[in-house]
Structure 1
Amino acid sequence: MVIGATGSVGRETVRLLLQAGEKAVAVTRDPAAVLPDGTQVVTGDPSRPDSLTAMPDGVEAVLLSPRAVGGAAAELLALAAARGARRVVALSAATVERPAGHRRFADEFRAVEEAVRRSGLQWTLLRCADFAANALAWAPQIRATGVVRGAYGDAATSPIHQRDIAEVAVRALTDVHAVHKGRAYLLTGPQSLDQRDKVRLIGDAIGRELSFQELAPTQVRQAMLAQGLAEDIPDRLLGSLADFANKPGPATDTVERLLGRPALTFATWAAENSAAFTSPVRS
């Protein structure tokens, strides 16, 4: 069962489970969500487990996305255990292990990790670096002007492709021999890249010269708030970037060790998603 099945990692995990011949149950708030053929869809709000009345019996394992469940992780896992679940794989953040940004955001992931550990289920934690897919936030600027305007251009991380996270998640979800039991994996991409590097690689993917324009953090914050975003969003983004500008985020070979192949590069992600940076938004 995949909680957060319409997110980038959740959707990819559903696809890979089905490809491997497993049965996949997708939990989503959206009754119109489009998921791969063969997916069993449960419509409800994961942050309100009492709404998941259609959760089937016989669930063996659960992929848990903290942003989907809010503060209801413990209650949700108890419900899943009552339906037969034996394993839980939780998405978490690298900042739990390697602090960066405001502590309160890492504490939210720590709370979910604690609920997972106390669930009584066989657990695995995936502490992820920033997603390569976060760069999709730049798409409107790139399509319109070819210039990405932001703060902390020197901030360097090792962004991870969602497919790598999903492949590791599938290994842990189907782990009948408990190889991944009680493990917390720090997952990153293979390359440390600053923001200018990422913009350049997107430009290479779409055959267009792009640039990064440095702005003051206060300008970026004000622009984000003017778009109607909640204050937590610029706090989350700018706090981490400020720290990564002083010290790059972690880079590990964990993906390669677990999957037996190199982690996918940001350039690969950019090539696969080039249409997002070139095609007009459809209403």
Structure 2
Amino acid sequence: MTILVTGARGRVSAAVRSELTERGAAVRAAGRQPEGDAVRLDLAEPGTFKAALDGVRKVFLYAEPSGIGAFLDAARAAGVEHIVLLSSLSAGEKDPESNVIGAFHVAAERALTASGIDWTLVRPGSFATNALQWAPSIRAEGVVPSAFPGTHNAPVHERDIAAVAVRALLDDAHRGATYHLTGPESLSEEQMTGLVARAIGKPVRIEPISREEELARLTRFAGPAIAETLIAYRAEYDGVPAAVRDGVREVTGRPAVPFARWAQEHAADFR
């Protein structure tokens, strides 16, 4: 049995692939711009489905509502039995379709759960790897520009997301389940910056910027709709602790990895 792992260039996919391989599973990596032994798979191009799905019975799938219907049809025809979807905590909010991020993930979830293929939904909150956006300014100047240094997240390690996904792929008891994942504690951006500074052994300071500057910066790499949603979130949680969810322990039996350890493991990215 082959397990297809999509998003081959992503950090979560890399961790999923690594753990599956360590556990002796047959893995095929796939992505839009594959490298190494990965195959090409683009949900917008149905011609890429057949080779990617050949012999596959389980799939780790990044949420992408555009083209997902045709992919799910092809997966069902190819004999895929179970798909683990990397979704988002935003899909479980009270009114998830009120913002572009929640609506995006809800659309992918609904397509999967209506497909007739067994499913597991993995809904992480803020990724610890989001802190890597600070790396260039920390390396260059030792600063983190932020309009909302008091904004809280409960950042989750990519390895924890992968660990939950792998168990869902390998143990049929997780079919039909939805897991909400965060890190073990709520931290402000200022606290996260301090933990990065400790990990790299040099000072890092917050550089205050305006809301408009923050919006312009986010828009450059995420687009205006997502940037507006992220700004609204950060304003809402400025000084407000984020909810901590225990999905990692629920599935793996161990606590989630704290951000301090993530920062130590990724210290080279910030030096």
TM-score between the two structures when normalised by the length of structure 1: 0.88
Q: Does the 8 Å contact 2:43/2:66 carry over to 1?
A: no
1:209 corresponding residue in structure 2: 203
1:59 corresponds to 2:56: yes
Distance 1:137 1:100 in 2: 28
Q: Which amino acid aligns with 1:5?
A: A
For the residue of structure 2 that corresponds to 1:245, the secondary structure is coil
After TM superposition, the structure 1 = structure 2 runs for residues 3-82 of structure 1, keeping only pairs within 5 Å, are 3-31=6-34, 33-34=35-36, 41-66=38-63, 69-82=64-77
> Is residue 2:78 matched to residue 1:83?
yes
User: Structure 2 counterpart of 1:148, which letter?
Assistant: V
Aligned partners of 1:162, 1:91: CA distance in 2, in Å? Answer: 12
1:217 Cα deviation after fit:
1.1
How far does residue 203 in structure 1 lie from its aligned partner after superposition?
A: 0.4
- Report sequence identity in percent: 35
Change (3 A) 1:173 1:242: same
SS at match of 1:30: coil
Instruction: Provide the residue aligned with 1:37 in structure 2.
Output: none
> CA-to-partner distance for each residue in 1:217-273, whole Å, 9 max, x for gaps?
112123445x57632342242122122226433201221121111111111111111
CA distance in 1 between partners of 2:54 and 2:211 (Å) = 49
Is the CA contact 2:142–2:204 (under 8 Å) kept in the aligned structure 1? yes
User: Partner amino acid for 1:152?
Assistant: F
In structure 1, C-alpha distance between the alignment counterparts of 2:85 and 2:222, rounded to whole Å? 26
Distance 1:70 1:97, change over 3 A: closer
Deviation at 1:126, TM superposition (A): 0.7
Structure 2 residue identity aligned to 1:198: M
What is the CA–CA distance in structure 1 between the aligned matches of 2:218 and 2:180, rounded to whole Å? 30
What is the RMSD computed on CA atoms of the aligned residues?
Answer: 1.9
Q: 2:157 corresponds to which residue?
A: 161
Q: Is the 8 A contact 1:47 1:70 kept in 2?
A: no
**Shift in CA distance, 169/223, structure 1 to aligned 2, threshold 3 Å:** closer
Task: Tell me the secondary structure at the aligned position of residue 52 of structure 1.
Answer: helix
Q: In the alignment, which residue of structure 1 is the partner of 2:258?
A: 265
The within-5 A match list for 1:81-230 is: 81-98=76-93, 103-175=99-171, 178-225=172-219, 227=220, 230=223
Q: Secondary structure at the match of 2:38?
A: strand
Over 3 Å counting, the alpha-carbon distance change for 1:219 and 1:56 in structure 2 is: closer
The offset of 1:189, in angstroms, is 0.4
Choose between structure 1 and 2: higher helix proportion: 2
Shift of 1:74: 2.0
Q: For residues 25-46 of structure 1, what are the alpha-carbon distances to aligned partners after superposition, in whole Å with 9 as ceiling and x for unaligned?
A: 1111224x24xxxxx5221323
Alpha-carbon shift at residue 156 of structure 1 (Å) = 0.7
Letter in 2 for 1:200: G
SS of structure 1 residue aligned to 2:51: coil
| Residues 187-235 of structure 1 deviation map (CA, whole Å, 9 limit, x = unaligned) | 000011010011000001000111112322112123445x576323422
TM-score, with structure 2 as normaliser: 0.92
The amino acid of 1:73's aligned partner reads I
Q: Could you tell me which runs of 5 or more consecutive residues in structure 1 were left unpaired when the two chains were aligned.
A: 35-39, 279-283
Which residue, 253, 259, 275 being the options, matches 2:268?
A: 275
Q: CA deviation at 1:100?
A: 9.0
